[in-house]
Structure 1
Amino acid sequence: MVYNDDVKRAADAVQSRLGDIPANCVGLVSGTGLGGLAAALADRKEMAASDIPGFPRSTAPSHAGTLALGHIAGRPTLLLSGRLHLYEGHSPRDVAFGVRLLAGLGVRVLALTNAAGALDPHFAAGGLMRVTDHINLTGRNPLVGPNDDGAGPRFPDMSQAYSHRLGEVADAKALELGLRLERGVYAGVLGPCLETPAETRMLRLLGADAVGMSTVTEVIAARHLGLEVLVISCLTNVNLPDCMAETTLEDVLATAKKAETNLAKLISSIIPEC
C-alpha cells in the first residue's frame, strides 16, 4: 500500500539521521505541556519532525515537533514530541502516522502521555492517572479504508487495548516512588472546545474518569500493529459540572508543568521494565 511506502520512506530517513535503532527500543509519545520528558533522555540524538518525509506538521501549542533517540535508565528510547490532533484538521491517518513510524522503526512497546481533564471528583489537578480503557467519542477511526493485512487484522480486538503487564509495572513503580497513580477510563473527544457542564455529566454517566483530545486514535493504530500499550494521563484540571470553573490553555500548561517532574520520575522507572 502507498501508506506503508510512506512509513518506510520516513523510517529510512530517521535511520539515516539518528543511526540504527536498537531492537529493544521503547516508543514514548509526550502530550500537551509534557515535552520536558526529553530531559530524561541520555545520549540524545534529535531531529525535527519536519525533516521526516511525509510527517504531517503539528500546530498544537507546546508540541515541539521532534523525534529523539536516547536512553532512559539504560533502555533505548525513541521519544516523539509533537503529536497530531484531529481538531487541527488532520485526518485519522495523519494522527496515527507517528505511531506507525515508531512501529516501522522496530518499536514493540509504546508508552503515551497526555494532558486530560479529570471527571472523577475524587481526582486532583496535577495528579496522574493510568488509563485502563477508553471510549472513542471522536467519531473517527484510523483503520477506516482498505486494511493492510500485513500490518494487522481487519477487525482488531480491543478488549485488552491497554497492557495489563505494563499496568502492573506502572502501579508497582508508583508505589515505590510514593506517587499516587489513579486508574480510570479515558474519553477521547474531537475538540477543540472544552466540555460544557451537560457534556461533563454525560461523560461521567458513560463511565469516563478523564477526558482529552488525543491518544485514542494512536492507541487504535498501535493495537492494530500489535504493539503493547501504556498510557499515563496528567490531570490538569477537574471538571465539576455543578461548579464549572473556566479553564484556559495557560492553566492547563501550568498544571502540566508542575506535574511533569513526577511524571518523568514515573516514566523513567517504568521504561527499563518494559
Structure 2
Amino acid sequence: MNAEHELVHQAADFLKHRLPLQPEVALVLGSGLGGLAQRIGDPVVIPYSEVPGFPLSTAPGHAGQFVSGRLAGKNVLCMQGRFHYYEGHEMAAIVRPVRVFKALNCRALILTNAAGGVNWDFSVGDFMLITDHINFMGVNPLRGPNDDAIGPRFCDMTTAYDPALQQTARKTAADMGIALREGVYLGYMGPSFETPAEIRAFRTLGADAVGMSTVPEAIAAAHCGLPVLGLSLITNMAAGMAGKRLCGEEVIEIANARGPVFQQLVEQITAAV
C-alpha cells in the first residue's frame, strides 16, 4: 500500500466512524453553490481540518466542510467547498476526496461548479450539463506511480461523464421545466481569469464553458470507477465577450442569485440517481 492509498483509507475510516449513514451519492459544491448543503436533513458537519490527510479550503465561498445526511430520499455526503490547484494544493490532495468517496462505496458523484460561458449562445445564469472536458490545467492527477488497487495505469476517458447520469439529468430538468444547456467544460489552472485571446482559442478547441476545477476530480473518478455527473452554472461570460472586466465577486453574486433554482435541480437529480 503506497502513501496515497494509506491517506485515502485513513480518511475513509475516520469518516465511517463519524457518518450517521452509509452515503449513496456524493456531491461537490462549487463557488457560491454551497447553499445546497442547507437542504440536507439531519445534517452532520465535519470540517476538513478534522479529516486525516485533508488540506484546508481557502477559496471564497467555500465553507470547507463535509455535510452528511438525507437529501431527496438519498443518503448523501456533500463537500461544501472543494480544493483547487491554484490554491497551491498538490493534485493528489485535490482528488483525494474522490477516492475517499469510492472507498466509502458511494455509487455516484455529482460535481458542480461556477463557470464562465465561452459559447456565444449561452447567457449568464444558464445551467450546463457537462458532456466532456478538455484538460488545460497543465497537469494530470494520475501522474506518478500508479496504484493498481485504485485504478489502471492508463485510464479510459471515453465516458468520463456517465451517459446514464446525463440522461437522468436531462429528464429531470425537462420535467422541472428548466432549460439545461449541454457542452464541453475546459479546465484552466487559474487563479487569473483567462485572456480574451485564450477564450477565442478555447472556443476554437470546442469549449463551451471554462473554469478552474472539476477536471481533476472527473479524471480521478474515472480512474477509480466512480460514475460522475457534471453540472455548471454559467456565472459570467468569459473574457472579451461582454465588454467588461471580470471579478470573483460577480461570480459569487450570480451564483447566489441563481443558486436556489440550481439547488432544486441538483436535489431532484439526486432523487432520481
Deviation at 1:188, TM superposition (A): 0.2
Give the corresponding residue for 2:10. Answer: 9
Q: Is the 8 A contact 1:18 1:46 kept in 2?
A: no
In the alignment, which residue of structure 2 is the partner of 1:216? 215
For normalisation by structure 2, the TM-score amounts to 0.97
1:182 matched residue in structure 2: 181
* 1:8 counterpart letter in structure 2: H
1:197-252 per-position Cα deviation (integer Å, ceiling 9, x unaligned): 11110010000000000000000000100011001001001126365311111100
Runs of 4+ in 1 over 6 A off after TM superposition: none
SS in 1 for 2:32: coil
Match of 1:102 in 2: 101
Equivalent in the alignment of 1:75: 74
Q: Tell me if the contact between 1:27 and 1:102 (Cα under 8 Å) persists in the aligned partners.
A: yes
Residue type of the alignment partner of 2:147: D
Using the TM superposition, give the Cα deviation of residue 266 of structure 1 relative to its aligned residue in structure 2, in angstroms. 0.7
Residue identity matched to 2:29: S
CA contact (8 A) 2:20 2:69 kept: no
- Counterpart of 2:10, as a letter, is R
Range moving further from structure 2, 10-19 or 235-244: 235-244
Alpha-carbon distance in structure 1 between the residues aligned to 2:142 and 2:111: 19
**CA–CA distance in 2 between the matches of 1:90 and 1:217?**
12
TM score, norm. by length of structure 1: 0.96
Q: Is the alpha carbon distance of 1:242 and 1:248 closer, same or farther for their aligned partners in structure 2, counting shifts above 3 Å? A: closer
Mapping of residues 39-118 of structure 1, within 5 Å: 39-118=38-117
Q: Distance in 1 between matches of 2:156 and 2:16?
A: 31
- Using the aligned pairs only, state the percent identity: 45
SS in 1 for 2:99: helix
* C-alpha displacement of 1:20: 4.8
Q: C-alpha distance in 1, partners of 2:222/2:64? A: 24
Q: Structure 1 stretch 6-15 or stretch 135-144: which is displaced more? A: 6-15
What is the distance in 2 between the residues matched to 1:113 and 1:128?
10
Q: Describe the superposition over 1:76-105 as per-residue Cα deviations: whole angstroms up to 9, x where unpaired.
A: 110011211011111111110111111121
**Counterparts of 2:272 and 2:258, CA distance in 1:** 22
Q: Aligned to 2:182, what secondary structure does the other structure show? A: strand
Matches within 5 A, 1:115-264: 115-239=114-238, 241=240, 243-264=242-263
Check the 8 A contact 1:63/1:82 in 2, yes or no.
yes
Aligned counterparts of 1:156 and 1:146: Cα–Cα separation in 2:
13
What CA distance in whole angstroms lies between the structure 2 residues aligned with 1:167 and 1:14? 29
Contact persistence 2:161–2:229 (CA under 8 A): yes
Cα distance in 2 between the residues matched to 1:192 and 1:173: 33
Unaligned stretches of 5+ residues in structure 2: none
**Cα deviation, residue 143, structure 1:** 0.5
Structure 1 residue 33 corresponds to structure 2 residue 3: no
Distance 2:67 2:171 in 1: 27
Give 1:44 shift: 1.1
| Contact 1:121–1:239 (Cα < 8 Å) also in 2 | no
Structure 1 residue matching 2:75: 3-state secondary structure: strand
1:87-142 deviation per Cα after TM superposition (whole angstroms, max 9, x unaligned)? 11111111101111111211121001000000111111011000000000001111
The one-letter code matched in structure 2 to 1:160 is T
CA distance in 1, matches of 2:103, 2:258: 31
Q: Which residue does the alignment assign to 2:22? A: 21
